[in-house]
Structure 1
Amino acid sequence: MKTKNVIFACLLSMAASYATAQQTVPSQRATITTEGDSIIIRKGSGNMRIRVYEEQPTDGESKEVEIYEGVYLERVESDKRTFLDALPFIPQKKKDNAYEPHNSGIFIGYSRMGNDFLSFDNSAKADLNLSRSWEFGFNVISLCHNFKKNPHWGLNFGVNWGYRSFSFDGNRALLKADGQTYFAEGDEENSYSSSRLRHFFFRIPITLEWQQRLGRSNKLFFNIGPEFEIRHGVKSFTHINGGKKQRVGKDMYVNPVGVNLLAQAGYGDFGLYLRYSTTSLFQKDKGPEMSPYSFGIAWYW
């Protein structure tokens, strides 16, 4: 019995505290008088109440009689997003002035090797066959943040997966031995042809985007930012003495994690991209110093 009394007293105390808190919320009141009629507007927490009074003669006296009362609830507009909005292939409702991130889509392009970061000269250590060195990927997850409902600027986040291949010209192959990855030149006993290095990747781009609608048509856009790359499934292949393709190494002391600089520009649902690795493809002192980069086209949705 005592326990019930204590619980009941606690409930009464909580109710009294809530009522006191509600009463302490200040309200704003404004009164407008026009030719004998009065309009009272009272703004409290969460809603606005409007009352209209009219002067009417009653028993020889003029009294104010309420002829209208309305309550306008406060509304906060917000876009409710679910995890489905982050997945590709899910149709999104577009608004004319809404921010449209150019993050989801598929891309394909050529792969190259530079001597160091932002060097667009061909690497002296690897003569690539450009027509057979390429990459392909598609977006898995896409998110974005629009700055204060500004339709021109936004921050994009994503995850994509894909495949990349480097094809080497000449009588050489990329081998792995004694803790080193190196290019082996062919000789009279062993000749190499159509050698290549390939790997799969997960990439996490974080880009700052600017976009501008041109008339009533599509938007012109540009974005740039870092991109984290996780490499896996690294293998080296070659043809020895004209025979069938053989795997001559795996892992190859490739850096499992890299950081790229990604830049994209386009119009509407199509664009061009350039990504450049800020670090060497191979681990320090375990392979040739080469920085991969790629460029190509992308289709966004």
Structure 2
Amino acid sequence: MKKFLMICLSFSLCSILQAQNVQDTLQSDSLKKKNILIEDSWSTKPQKHEIVKKDSFHISTNNSDTTKLKFMKKNIVKVVEEDNGAKIKIGKIGKLSYQEDRDTTKIRIGGKQINIIDGWHGTRVRIEKVQPWDPNQDKFFVEEEKDFRGHWAGFEMGINGLAEENYSGYISDLNGFIDLNLAKSIAVNLNFLQYDISLQKERNTIGLVTGLGLEWNNYRFDSDMTLEKDISGKIQPVGFNPEWNIKKSKLTSIYLTVPLLLEFQIPVKYNTRRVHLAAGVVGGLRLGTHSKIKYKFKGNTHKDKDHDDFNLKTLRYGAQVRLGYRSLNLFGTYGLTNLFEKNKGPEMVPYTVGITLVTF
């Protein structure tokens, strides 16, 4: 039984390790046809490189008895020989090792270990469960770090609010006329494009994040009023017909957003699960604005929309902070510009707090 298992395992290992002799047997024409790149770091022979645009294999062997077979820069098989056995890694999930002592051969596959024991009374085979490989203890099974990837792209929802309100340009009776219903002042963000720039050579935990997104901001008024421009072009509150039963009155804006964020990632488990923290600025270009009124009059429901700029800033920017763990992401944005153009409306700064519901 032991000999049969060892023969099978040895055949598999020999098939993989035999790749180091391919350099002496392959001809130059077959290299061009099969697109194979072979490197022996311990060899004094000139290295042969075949640069291809499509599929390419990379077989490398170094003096630490480690052999790697790569395809498109990704590890397919990784083998390391030791004094009393070997370790094999196939792709991302295939992990195999064998170790031979004086009277026991141990073959480990994933979370199970096969013990082949030679004793006075014959050969015994015992299968037992073992703990998964810990990358912190066995660096052989550590995955090669991927490129830095930030946390911007996704679908988000939040709540809009207004701060630092100043109505000094209005009569006292109009002080605070923009009063929001925060629970219904919903923000919807669709961040559809992301571009990452790593700031490290050996690691992937710090980088810059930018991209594009669309931002819908709803400001739901808590009182029965809407906004209009007066003769001078200044924003003024306007009441409704007393006979109207007001259901909804809000102001909606759409912005094209561009972020520039510095993101830090802190590995917390096996280097794959991370806490991420990002901070920076997000600029916006206004694409459209409208007000909407929904009301009932004489038993009929009416919906009126007024498309206008309402003196909202055409270009605006704000400071943003993002904090999360894996796909969970919270964000907060505080405006660095006023909501309205200067002297065209009350002074106030918009802010948004929300959560990422879906990541791309």
- TM-score in same-fold range (> 0.5): yes
Alignment equivalent of 1:203, drawn from 247, 250, 257? 257
In the alignment, is the contact (CA less than 8 A) between 1:172 and 1:183 conserved in 2? yes
> Structure 1 pair 239/148, CA: closer, same or farther in 2 (3 Å)?
closer
Q: How does 1:180-199 map to 2 (within 5 A)?
A: 180-186=234-240, 188=242, 194-199=248-253
**Hey, what does 1:127 align to over in structure 2?**
179
**Hey, what does 2:215 align to over in structure 1?**
162
Residue type of the alignment partner of 2:262: L
Alignment equivalent of 2:150, drawn from 95, 101, 108? 101
Deviation at 1:191, TM superposition (A): 7.8
Q: Distance in 1 between matches of 2:305 and 2:322?
A: 35
**Structure 2 residue 277 is matched with structure 1 residue 222:** yes
* Stretch moving more, 155-164 or 258-267: 155-164
**Structure 2 residue 336 is matched with structure 1 residue 278:** yes
Q: Which secondary structure state, in structure 2, belongs to the residue aligned with residue 286 of structure 1?
A: coil
Q: How does 1:71-86 map to 2 (within 5 A)?
A: 71-72=46-47
Deviation track 1:86-120 (CA, whole Å, cap 9, x = no partner) reads xxxxxxx9954642211211111111111259xxx
Show structure 1 runs of 5+ residues with no match: 1-49, 52-67, 75-92, 118-122
Deviation track 1:171-193 (CA, whole Å, cap 9, x = no partner) reads 22112232111222457587865
> Structure 1 pair 190/223, CA: closer, same or farther in 2 (3 Å)?
same
Alignment equivalent of 2:289, drawn from 234, 248, 251? 234
> Structure 1 pair 274/153, CA: closer, same or farther in 2 (3 Å)?
same
In the alignment, is the contact (CA less than 8 A) between 1:165 and 1:198 conserved in 2? yes
Deviation at 1:230, TM superposition (A): 0.8
Q: Distance in 2 between matches of 1:145 and 1:174?
A: 43
**Hey, what does 1:70 align to over in structure 2?**
45
Q: Distance in 1 between matches of 2:164 and 2:331?
A: 20
> Structure 1 pair 190/182, CA: closer, same or farther in 2 (3 Å)?
farther
Alignment equivalent of 1:269, drawn from 315, 327, 352? 327
Deviation track 1:233-261 (CA, whole Å, cap 9, x = no partner) reads 10112246755121245111111110111
**Hey, what does 1:290 align to over in structure 2?**
348
In the alignment, is the contact (CA less than 8 A) between 1:116 and 1:280 conserved in 2? no
**Hey, what does 1:146 align to over in structure 2?**
198
Larger relative contact order (Cα-Cα within 8 Å, sequence gap ≥ 6) = 1
> Structure 1 pair 245/153, CA: closer, same or farther in 2 (3 Å)?
same
Q: Distance in 1 between matches of 2:191 and 2:334?
A: 19
In the alignment, is the contact (CA less than 8 A) between 1:132 and 1:167 conserved in 2? yes
**Hey, what does 1:300 align to over in structure 2?**
359
> Structure 1 pair 126/228, CA: closer, same or farther in 2 (3 Å)?
same
In the alignment, is the contact (CA less than 8 A) between 2:200 and 2:207 conserved in 1? no
Deviation at 1:69, TM superposition (A): 4.7
**Structure 2 residue 296 is matched with structure 1 residue 244:** no
User: How many residues in Structure 1 have an aligned counterpart in Structure 2?
Assistant: 216
**Structure 2 residue 112 is matched with structure 1 residue 112:** no
TM-score by length of 2: 0.54
Show structure 2 runs of 5+ residues with no match: 1-40, 50-91, 93-142, 167-174
Alignment equivalent of 1:175, drawn from 213, 228, 231? 228
> Structure 1 pair 281/73, CA: closer, same or farther in 2 (3 Å)?
farther
Deviation at 1:227, TM superposition (A): 0.7
Aligned-CA RMSD value: 3.2
Q: Distance in 2 between matches of 1:171 and 1:300?
A: 37
Q: Distance in 1 between matches of 2:208 and 2:156?
A: 20
Q: Distance in 2 between matches of 1:269 and 1:96?
A: 18
Q: Distance in 1 between matches of 2:278 and 2:253?
A: 26
